[in-house]
């Protein structure tokens, strides 16, 4: 005991990286459980901005060990880039601190090419993927023809597996999509070199975590993406190909539920989405521009991985209640409350209207949200800058009311509130847990 899990409650980009960074200070091990370099976590420490795609944000705390779980898909070239970048900034990323599950799957240039080809073929009906090869790598995994990280322990044999995979995928690229495939032999020899560098990092992550939990170490599971992008429980087909939810965390790390302590749902104080798909509370007016920002600041609403402007809207309480149900959150972390400063009135979606019915919960999965119109409650905004607040009492009454309303809607406590990008710009209610 104990295992704490961080899960995105929306469509990703909720600010999970900084919540992980904060809680990593009190954890022994930090482990990512799903996705790949489609994720992007931005963490600011002492004016230094870190953009992490694969390595858990916990790496910035020197006392932790960090793990890439079995549920992940790993692009080895990108991982090595990230290792080298952190190393050049003086962060210890040696194999004593960083571990890769032997059961994680490996992304190749063929997966990336297929991701792009499938997106282009969907033309008007694109999913808006990050084109990082995520879907095709998980497809190979489900088809039981994927490449697993454990195979990198024998670089030459791994290289021949890669070559065969590249040849097979190359035929699809050529014959179905009329594309020039990447060269199988070149890719195989590059992957042989990646394997030689990465093999010291590969281990049985599930076993390491299980042992640590038995020894009463604190394990923090770091989420990527968010509940509404879950392959089964999100806004299918506009989802990712993994399970960024509480059950996905257990599966993706290879540990059972008996050690669970906190399940922290991270939600922004408003709603954003990158990529296509339904978004009932989306807005397009000047408030949207204000919420999105110009892109000049690292915290503005532009993708960390792709740089795409994010779609923005008001906080959707119906979808948040859904995320609470799917994940069994024990508490919420509310991020970016400071961004709402100066907006008046604030709107909060508390129900959906469908003909004459008012629904506070979804009647079915969130795949088709088109029949619903958001029912908003208006809240008085506040004008003061929140970025200097340290305690709950520093927040203006209007901001406290807004937080209380989110608590009432979800029947959960908001135990962490972020009010700026710096490490210390978080109001904490969770210390006495
Ligand atoms: P994929 O994961 O690249 O296949 O993309 C599938 C969908 O998930 C697209 O709408 C992406 O924009 C979205 N997505 C994937 N990763 C993230 C993330 O880290 N944050 C937000 N959206 C994401």
368 within domain boundaries: yes
For residue 123, being part of any structural domain is answered with: yes
Enter the tokens of residue 339. 């961004």
Ligand 1 atom index nearest CA of 38: 16
**Tens digit of pLDDT for each residue in 179-233?**
999 999 999 999 999 999 999 999 999 999 999 999 999 999 999 999 999 999 9
Which residues span the domain enclosing 160? 105-201
Residue 369 inside a domain? The answer is: yes
**Pocket-forming residues, ligand 1, beta carbon under 6 Å:** 11-13, 38-40, 127-130, 132, 134-135, 224-225, 229, 238, 240-241, 274-275
d(CA 25, CA 62): 9
What number of residues does the chain have? 433
Strand residue runs (E) in 53-170: 65-68, 73-74, 98-101, 105-106
Query: 162-166, 290-294, 313-317: which range is least confident on average?
Result: 290-294
As a whole number, mean pLDDT of residues 111-120 equals 96
**399 and 348 co-located in one domain:** yes
Residue 432 pLDDT > 50: no
Q: Which two tokens stand for residue 321?
A: 């209640």
CATH code: domain of residue 148: 1.10.300.10
pLDDT at 433 over 50: no
Q: What is the pLDDT of residue 48?
A: 78
Atom 16 of ligand 1, residue of closest alpha carbon: 38
Question: What is the sign of the dihedral through the CA atoms of 298, 91, 22 and 267?
Answer: positive
Cα(226) to centroid(ligand 1), Å: 9
pLDDT at position 423 is 80
Q: How many domains does the chain have?
A: 2
CA distance 61 to 91: 9
Catalytic option among 4, 37, 41, 230: 41
Nearest residue to 64 (alpha-carbon basis) of 100, 94, 91, 29: 29
Token pair of 156 as six digits: 């030459």
Pocket test for ligand 1, best of 33, 38, 75, 126 (most atoms within 8 A of CB): 38
The reply to whether 148 falls in a domain is yes
Identify the band that residue 429 occupies on the pLDDT scale cut at 50, 70 and 90: confident
**pLDDT over threshold 90, residue 402:** yes
User: Is residue 217 located within the same domain as residue 196?
Assistant: no
pLDDT of 296 over the 90 cut = no
Last residue of a domain, one of 140, 174, 201: 201
Q: Residue 400 belongs to a domain with what CATH number?
A: 3.90.170.10
Phi-psi region of 355 (alpha: psi -120 to 50; beta: other; left: phi over 0): left
Instruction: Give the domain-ending residue among 201, 223, 250.
Output: 201
Ligand 1 centre to CA of 342 (Å) is: 30
pLDDT at position 46, please?
Answer: 73
316 in any annotated domain: yes
HEC string of 217-281?
CCEEEECCCCHHHCCCCCCCCCCCCCCCCHHHHHHHHCCCHHHEEEEEEEEECCEEECCCCCCCC
Shared domain for 216 and 194, answered yes or no, is no
- As a whole number of angstroms, the distance between CA 261 and CA 239 comes to 28
Indicate the average pLDDT of the chain: 94
Residue 341 has pLDDT above 80, yes or no: yes
Is 97 inside any structural domain?
no
Please tell me the distance from the alpha carbon of residue 414 to that of residue 421, in angstroms, as a whole number.
18
CB 283 within 8 A of CB 311: no
Assess whether 69 and 145 both reside in one domain. no
Same domain, 326 and 347: yes
Place of tokens 């992940």: 72
Assess whether pLDDT exceeds 60 at residue 418.
yes
Same domain membership, residue 220 and residue 355: yes
Q: How confident is the model at residue 321 (pLDDT cuts 50, 70, 90)?
A: very high
Q: 133-188, pLDDT tens digit by residue? A: 999 999 999 999 999 999 999 999 999 999 999 999 999 999 999 999 999 999 99
User: Looking at the DSSP assignment, which residues form a beta bridge with residue 427?
Assistant: 417
Q: Are residues 263 and 124 in the same domain?
A: no
Distance CA 234, CA 227 (A): 6
User: From CA 31, how far away is CA 205, in angstroms rounded?
Assistant: 9
pLDDT per residue as tens digits for the range 266-288: 999 999 999 899 999 999 999 99
- Give the C-alpha distances (Å, rounded to integers) separating 101 from 18, 34, 62, 151, 203: 24, 12, 21, 11, 5
Is 41 tagged catalytic?
yes
pTM: 0.96
The reply to whether 187 and 322 lie within a common domain is no
CA 38 to ligand 1 center in whole angstroms: 6
Residue 98 lies in a domain: no
Q: Exactly one of 13, 37, 115, 140 is catalytic; which is it?
A: 13
pLDDT digits (tens, 9 = 90+) for 351-392: 999 999 999 999 999 999 999 999 999 999 999 999 889 899
**Phi and psi angles of residue 221, each rounded to the nearest 5 degrees, phi first:** -95, 120
Instruction: Check whether residue 180 and residue 35 sit in a common domain.
Output: no
- Tens-place pLDDT, residues 12-70: 999 998 899 899 999 999 999 999 999 988 777 777 777 889 999 899 999 999 999 99
Domain shared by 286 and 332, yes or no: yes
Inter-CA distances, 340 with 122, 155, 272, 405, Å: 36, 52, 14, 15
In the chain, the percentage of residues whose pLDDT exceeds 90 is 86
For a mutational test of ligand 1's pocket, the pick from 36, 240, 302, 307, i.e. the residue with the most ligand atoms closer than 8 A to its C-beta, is 240
**What is the pLDDT at residue 148?**
98
Residue 100, domain member (yes or no): no
Would you say residue 262 has pLDDT above 80?
A: yes
Q: Which of 147, 173, 201 is the last residue of a domain?
A: 201
Does one domain contain both 211 and 230?
yes
Helix, coil or strand: residue 400: helix
Tell me: do 180 and 275 sit in the same domain.
no
pLDDT value at position 431?
Answer: 54
Cα 239 to averaged position of ligand 1 atoms, centre (Å): 7
- Which ligand 1 atom is nearest residue 276's CA? 10
What pLDDT, on the 0 to 100 scale, is given for residue 267? 98
Cis geometry, peptide bond prior to residue 237 (ω within 30 degrees of 0): yes
């Amino acid at each position: 005991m104990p295992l704490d899990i961080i899960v995105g409650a929306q469509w990703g980009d909720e600010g999970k990286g900084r919540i992980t960074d904060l809680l990593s200070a009190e954890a022994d091990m930090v482990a990512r459980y799903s996705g790949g370099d489609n994720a992007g976590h931005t963490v600011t420490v002492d004016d230094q901005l870190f953009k992490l795609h694969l390595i858990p944000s916990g790496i910035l705390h020197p006392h932790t060990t960090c793990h890439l779980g079995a549920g992940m898909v790993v692009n080895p070239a990108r991982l090595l880039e990230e290792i080298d970048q952190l190393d050049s900034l003086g962060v210890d990323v040696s194999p004593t601190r960083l571990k890769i599950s032997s059961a994680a799957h490996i992304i190749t240039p063929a997966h990336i090419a297929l991701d792009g080809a499938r997106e282009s073929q969907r033309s008007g009906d694109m999913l808006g993927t990050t084109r990082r090869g995520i879907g095709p790598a998980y497809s190979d995994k489900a088809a039981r023809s994927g490449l697993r990280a454990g195979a990198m322990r024998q670089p030459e044999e791994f290289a021949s597996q890669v070559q065969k995979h590249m040849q097979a995928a190359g035929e699809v690229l050529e014959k179905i999509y009329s594309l020039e495939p990447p060269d199988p032999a070149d890719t195989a020899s590059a992957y042989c070199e990646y394997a030689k560098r990465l093999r010291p990092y590969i281990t049985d992550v599930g076993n390491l975590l299980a042992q640590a939990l038995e020894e009463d170490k604190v394990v923090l599971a770091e989420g990527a993406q968010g509940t509404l992008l879950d392959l089964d429980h999100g806004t299918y087909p506009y989802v990712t190909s993994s399970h960024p939810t509480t059950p996905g965390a257990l599966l993706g790390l290879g540990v059972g539920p008996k050690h669970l302590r906190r399940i922290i749902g991270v939600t922004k104080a408003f709603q954003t989405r990158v990529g296509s798909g339904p978004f009932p509370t989306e807005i397009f007016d000047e408030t949207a521009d204000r919420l999105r920002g110009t892109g000049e600041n690292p915290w503005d609403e532009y993708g960390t991985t792709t740089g795409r402007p994010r779609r923005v809207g008001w906080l959707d309480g119906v979808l948040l209640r859904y995320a609470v149900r799917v994940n069994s959150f024990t508490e919420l972390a509310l991020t970016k409350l400071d961004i709402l400063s100066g907006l008046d009135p604030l709107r909060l979606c508390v129900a959906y209207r469908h003909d004459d019915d008012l629904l506070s919960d979804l009647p079915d999965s969130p795949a088709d949200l088109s029949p619903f119109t958001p029912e908003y409650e208006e809240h008085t905004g506040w004008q003061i800058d929140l970025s200097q607040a340290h305690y709950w009492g520093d927040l203006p009454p209007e901001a406290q009311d807004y937080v209380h309303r989110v608590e009432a809607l979800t029947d959960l406590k908001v135990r962490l509130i972020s009010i700026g990008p710096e490490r210390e710009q978080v109001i904490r209610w969770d210390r006495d847990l």
